[in-house]
Structure 1
């Protein structure tokens, strides 16, 4: 067996979509979207997202329509959007389903149940949100999901923000 430094399922760069390569050159925030419904928890690492300020504010993200997150979020209609920092790389990979998480990614850390879903203990910035539309438009490969921000937790700002660029994590 040989261990490679590259992702084993990633096609060669010359075979990748030029639009995806263009997007990959933009630094993106690393968010963790979590929800629960009927005793089932679901989560997904999301870097294709933005926050729109206003009254109310919104989080807009591209979500895989086949993901467990979307299936559960559509039923729950609420979610927690957490902004991950440097200490959360393993959590980001586990919820992005690119790293092992024995027993599932929710077993990696402790969680606080909120009115919007599970919030990860140790993540200093998160928002409790409500789903705007159960039938969002398709955009590219995903669904353009809009969440209305109902509550924001800003505990500390001393953790470097985790960003994703060209398949790798970095910090700001």
Structure 2
């Protein structure tokens, strides 16, 4: 058996579209979106817009259990993940086994917007505002109703197909 330092199933760069390759050169925050049900999904295509009201936008797989739950509940939580959350991110992205279900391990705080990791230093409670097809996904827009900021933490970042922290 050989252990690879890279993903042996990854599409080679020369076979990817130029747009996908450009997207891969942009660092993106890794967030966990959760909804009552419960359901959740790792999302790195996330944007927070300040305003009155503040909004969150994200690209969501319309075939995901998360989208099914949000469509019914009309609300969800967004949690920025940290470098210590790499396995959590992989589990909710479907890249790692989740025996007993996505929420079976770890400690969770129940909120009206969906479960939130108990250790989360920050999270936002959101209500669904709109959605529309956008490329390979749905562009989901929501109003931020509640923000919880406990401790400032380093973000988990997705860059060129890998997780990273900030190198300060």
TM range (shorter): over 0.9
For 1:96 and 1:45, the matched residues in 2 are separated by 5
The count of aligned residue pairs is 166
Are residues 1:155 and 2:150 paired?
Answer: yes
TM-score of the two chains, using structure 2 as the length reference: 0.94
User: What is the aligned-residue RMSD (CA, Å)?
Assistant: 1.1
Residues in 1 aligned to 2:6 and 2:95: alpha-carbon distance in whole angstroms: 12
| Counterpart position of 1:2 | 2
- Displacement of 1:12: 1.4
Output one character per residue of 1:91-114: Cα deviation in whole Å (capped at 9) or x when no partner.
011101111222222122111111
Aligned pairs for 1:1-172 (under 5 A) are 1-36=1-36, 40-133=37-130, 136-157=131-152, 159-172=153-166
CA distance in 2, matches of 1:109, 1:117: 15
Distance 2:88 2:105 in 1: 7
| Contact 1:129/1:148 (<8 A) preserved | yes
* Alpha-carbon spacing, 1:51–1:20, altered in 2? closer, same or farther (3 Å): same
Matched residue of 1:108: which SS?
coil
Tell me, in whole angstroms, the C-alpha distance in 2 between the residues paired with 1:129 and 1:154.
15
Unaligned runs of 5+ in 1: none
Unaligned runs of 5+ in 2: none
**How many angstroms apart in 2 are the aligned matches of 1:7 and 1:61?**
26
| Distance of 1:168 and 1:143 partners within structure 2 | 23
**After superposition, what is the alpha-carbon deviation per residue over 1:45-64, rounded to whole angstroms, capped at 9, x for unaligned?**
00001000001000100001
Contact between 1:79 and 1:129, CA under 8 Å: does it hold in 2? yes
Following TM superposition, by how much is the alpha carbon of 1:3 offset from its aligned partner in structure 2, in angstroms? Answer: 2.7
Alpha-carbon shift at residue 68 of structure 1 (Å): 0.7
3-state SS, counterpart of residue 56 of structure 1: coil
In 1: Cα distance, 2:12 partner to 2:27 partner: 21
Residue by residue, what CA displacement relative to the aligned partner does 1:122-153 show, whole Å, maximum 9, x if unpaired?
A: 011100000002xx211110000001100000
SS at match of 1:60: strand
